[in-house]
Amino acid sequence: MFVLVSFFSFAALDQPVLRQLYTSLAMVGTSSVSLFHFLTNFSEVGDRLANVGLAYLRSMVLLLLSVALGSGMGLLLGFAAGMRPNSPQATAVSAVSFVGVLTPSFLTSLFVMLAFVRYISPAVGIRFILLSPSVSVFDFRRLLAPAIVLAVRPLAYVTQVTIGALQEVIYTDHVRTARAKGLPPRVVLSRHVLRNVALPVLTSINSSFYFSLSSLLVVEWLFNWSGIGLQLLEAVSKRDAETASYLLVSVGLTMLLINTAVKIAMRHIDPRVAESESVIS
Amino acid sequence: MQTAAVSEASIWWLSQGWFLLGGALLVIAASLSLRQWGDSLIRAYRPQRLTLGSPDELVPPTGALRRFTPGVVRIFSNAPMLAGLVITGFLLVAFVVPGVLAPYGPEETGKTLQLIRGKITARPFPPSPPYPMGTDMRGRDLLSRILFGTRQTLTICLAVAALRLAIGIILGGISGWKGGMIGQQILSLGTVSASIPSLLFAFVFILAIGPSHGFGVFLLGLGLTGWAELTNTINAAVRWVKSQRYIEGALAIGSTPGHIARRHLLPNIMPQLLPAVSLEISAVLLTLGELGFLGIFIGETFYGYVPQTIRTLTSTEWAGMLAGTRLSLFQWPWLPLSPALAFLVAILGLNLLAMGLRTYLDPMQSRLRN
């Protein structure tokens, strides 16, 4: 009960309705989100926005790299395992990918960090993990470890989905016909199988972005990569509501953009998706 | 007083702290091999009136054959279900009577210096025969603390999952049964909720109100998001049931809504509902672990002089054990890794259970390979 009361007072929901309305209308003029505030306090807001933009850029580099790495390798692994679904290797791959999807990101990042610091850095002679903040921004060496951590879950998930989709597709009639016609396996794969597998794989890449975005907080904090997640952490613990809201909005917009892009791509791949959507709405 | 260095990599990799993960993998392997045995059991139970087209023993039992087999027998042909039941059963025992499994008490501390692997060692003790998962800075056995902490951790998870389930059943039921404008609005609300990662929301919510308020903040912070997937599942299931002929019949003979819900709706959405609940609990567990890793957890700490002045946890919750151990990774790797492994095993068990339940509760569906 106490929690509810404190939440309501935090969100100003315990005020009378008219007071709430007045406050929110007054906020439009004075809040930092408004255009007026932006124009009058240009440099301050601009600084903050530039910071957020830089953090966003850093996070996006990390995110895109990890998802591209993960889904590319996942596709290869999934095809390797899915073409022979009953072999022991395929069973092993799907079992490992099942565990990989479920491994919490903090556990993966602890293992990766341990491996880098104990084995890889001494062997190669490069310090991949630098925990002091005073290091140059786009340092590829610092990007590698968090990208590997974030790539694990997309890798496992895309592998799982690819194996599942292939199991359904390779036993369908049109693939059997194509094989019976004597087409070489490469042509069957590229022309008859790939297009049907593309749809579930694309959906899985979409959810991989979601996975990676949600574990960005933990991974950036652990590896001291000053992106959206770390900035949000700092902003929330410093009670800097403006920066926090900019960051949250940028996360939401990114999710929305990725969703839309995937939907458009799905329409191009499979016209049936467009048809079914137009029937519903 | 000179003490030996204990954090050698070889000790950690070979230590017995891995037995939880190893045990889970062993259970999976064993149940995979048991599957063959379960298949032959199902064939032994085959009623004589069911004559299949071919007596081909290589075809796995599906469809009608599975439907007429007793449930207990079908579990043995369902590897994920078996593995999930073993792990969740273990968690349940630890939930109810942790003292039976734990070798030490949760607050029990041994001697300050101990002979471990032939070396005189100071606290925290590494994973070794007397302490299978190592100890914390006060010398308390981590395995025992994890086992005693199961009750607190799972209580939070179950409460949050119950809240999400309540939201999901109400919203999904309404949108599935009523459909139309209201249904569309509810589903789009779910889409909005799903676009906020639940870790971000929980983090901001709990820090804004203050984690010191305890259970209620965590319940709301974790429970107010994450219901969208559950809502979609229930919505689809209810819509499918509503389109069936028996609902039409029940409406025609004048059944009351309560009767339809109890007699027709609930039993028929169960195959979708139960796995979804299991998945939801594991999702909450994951978010709880990540929050704990970031340093937000339920429980109290005090600062005291142990070897140096350090933070000491007084509760045995897993997330709390994970908190603040980030930089101990290189010196004492078992401090963060042991609770993290506990999270992994619990999440693995719940997901295997969900996977198995999906096959088990849906007899029409052909069995899952692998």
Using CB atoms, which residue from A98, A107, A259 is nearest to B344?
A107
Q: Is the pLDDT of residue B3 over 70?
A: no
pLDDT at residue A125 in the model? 81
User: A273: part of which helix (H) or strand (E)?
Assistant: helix A271-280
Q: How many CB atoms lie within 10 A of CB B156?
A: 21
**ipTM strictly over 0.85?**
no
Listed range (A16-30, B58-72, B231-245) with the worst mean pLDDT: B58-72
Using CB atoms, which residue from A3, A110, A114 is nearest to B216?
A3
- In terms of pLDDT, which residue wins out, B309 or A166? A166
A105–chain B nearest CA distance, Å: 8
Nearest CA in chain A to B216: A3
Note the pLDDT tens digit of each residue in B82-101: 899 999 999 999 999 998 99
Contact A255 B341 (CB under 8 A): no
Q: Would you say B330 and A122 are in contact if contact means Cβ atoms under 8 Å apart?
A: no
pLDDT at residue B155 in the model? 92
Listed range (B159-168, B178-187, B301-310) with the worst mean pLDDT: B301-310
B144 exposed, middle or buried (CB, 10 Å; 0-12, 13-18, 19+)? buried
Contact B197 A218 (CB under 8 A): no
| Inter-chain Cβ pairs, chain A and chain B, closer than 8 A | 108
Q: Which of B199, B278, B337, B352 to mutate to test the interface with A (most CBs of A within 10 A)?
A: B199
Q: Is the peptide bond before B124 cis (omega within 30 degrees of 0)?
A: yes
pLDDT at residue B304 in the model? 63
Cα separation, B190 vs B187, whole angstroms: 5
Region A255-267 average pLDDT = 86
Q: Would you say B353 and B281 are in contact if contact means Cβ atoms under 8 Å apart?
A: no
**What sign does the dihedral B255-B257-B260-B262 (CA atoms) show?**
negative
Q: Is the pLDDT of residue B365 over 90?
A: no
Contact B209 A3 (CB under 8 A): yes
pTM of the full structure: 0.82
Q: Would you say B365 and B41 are in contact if contact means Cβ atoms under 8 Å apart?
A: no
Note the pLDDT tens digit of each residue in A109-151: 999 998 998 888 888 887 777 776 655 556 778 888 999 999 9
Of B217, B227, B226, B223, nearest to B296 (Cα)? B217
Q: Is the pLDDT of residue A73 over 90?
A: yes
Q: Which of A102, A130, A230, A277 to mutate to test the interface with B (most CBs of B within 10 A)?
A: A102
Per-residue confidence band for A54, with pLDDT thresholds at 50, 70 and 90: confident
- In terms of pLDDT, which residue wins out, A86 or B254? B254
Interface of B to A at Cβ within 8 Å reads 9, 28, 32, 195-200, 203-204, 207-210, 213, 216-217, 219-220, 282, 286, 289-290, 293-294, 322, 326, 329-330, 333, 336-337, 340-341, 343-344, 347-348, 351, 369-370
Per-residue confidence band for A77, with pLDDT thresholds at 50, 70 and 90: very high
Q: What percent of chain A has pLDDT over 70?
A: 80
For residue B313, what are the β-bridge partners?
B301
Region B182-194 average pLDDT = 87
Contact A104 B340 (CB under 8 A): yes
pLDDT at residue B37 in the model? 59
pLDDT at residue A44 in the model? 73
A58–chain B nearest CA distance, Å: 18
Contact residues on chain B for A99, CB-CB shorter than 8 A: 348
Note the pLDDT tens digit of each residue in B132-169: 888 988 889 999 999 999 999 999 999 999 999 999 99
Q: Is the pLDDT of residue B118 over 70?
A: yes
What values do phi and psi take at B252, rounded to 5? -65, -40
